[in-house]
Amino acid sequence: MGEAEASGRSRAERFDRLARWLLPLLVVVAIVFGWHLVVVVNEIPPYILPGPGTVFATLVKDWPILSGALVNTLAITTLALIVATLGGVGLAILFSQSRLVEYSFFPIAVVLQVTPIVAVFPLINIYVDNTTAKLLICAWIVAFFPILSNTTLGLNSADRNLHALFHLYGASRWQTLRHLRLPAAMPYFLGGLRIAGGLSLIGAVVAEFVAGTAGFGSGLAFRIIEAGYRLNTARMFAALILISAAGVAIYLVLSLASHLILRKWHESAIGRER
């Protein structure tokens, strides 16, 4: 292989890496600038469409209110994700111990998953008093299923010959679970977790919209509704941006965790050969 070819390839690689950051950034800048132009040229009043500058100023000015709401939303999301993880993994382990248990309960999990949460929420609203509990149940129902189905698949994906080996050495059920099935399920579980992270946020926000909670403990969704009543459109945008940012942050954190856990052995985390 010639030196010119090698250096050509490394230049192409460097360009590729740069383009991955630069291109989306340019697109975002273009959109923001276009938005600004539309607002300025058409002289649109801020209660209909605030310009990006106004939104940013509102974000800074309202930070005490918005940051509190962000913390509340994130708290519900995190709690829901933890409960969804415990519930999803717990159920998957239960299912993996007996086909009959899986046959009995998996369809119910599917029903929970496919019924739109917005339609179920008014019922939850009747039976549960505590607001935090309401939101949590709602977010949990939305988030646990990908963890359950992925982990179930993963627990059954261990190599048949490894199973034979465990049998040969007289491994107990617990040992097989601990040393074979759970590690084999890890990549599947982490994939489910990444989806569930986004869904927890959606669940938390949707629940809050429907619940219409006010005062102490209210999150970003409530702030959006409230700002809507007051025609404070700039704050609506600011809260929306914070929700998106929270979703992206959750995804990045979970992706990073997944990468760190799998980097030693799983193909998905190893990347291309150099």
List residues near another protein by CB under 8 A: 159, 161-162, 164-171, 175, 179-180, 183-184, 186, 264-266, 270
Tell me the Ramachandran region of residue 110: left when phi exceeds 0, alpha when psi lies from -120 to 50, beta otherwise: alpha
Secondary structure (H, E, C), 226-270: HHHHCCCHHHHHHHHHHHHHHHHHHHHHHHHHHHHHHCCCCHHHH
Burial 222-254 (b: 16+ CB within 10 A, else e): bbbbbbeeeebbbbbbbbbbbbeebbeebeeeb
Burial 103-129 (b: 16+ CB within 10 A, else e): eeeeeebeebeeeebeeebeebbeeee
Closest distance of CB 93 from another protein, Å: 18
Closest distance of CB 273 from another protein, Å: 11
Closest distance of CB 167 from another protein, Å: 6
Closest distance of CB 217 from another protein, Å: 41
Helices marked H in the chain: 3-42, 52-61, 63-97, 99-114, 117-127, 131-155, 160-168, 173-176, 182-211, 220-229, 233-262, 267-270
CB closer to another protein out of 26 and 270: 270
Closest distance of CB 155 from another protein, Å: 14
Closest distance of CB 134 from another protein, Å: 39
CB closer to another protein out of 187 and 219: 187
- Cβ-based neighbour number of residue 65 at 10 Å: 16
CB closer to another protein out of 6 and 270: 270
Max CA pair span of the chain: 78
CB closer to another protein out of 17 and 178: 178
CB closer to another protein out of 130 and 161: 161
Closest distance of CB 96 from another protein, Å: 18
CB closer to another protein out of 116 and 170: 170
Which tokens sit at 273?
């050969």
CB closer to another protein out of 34 and 183: 183
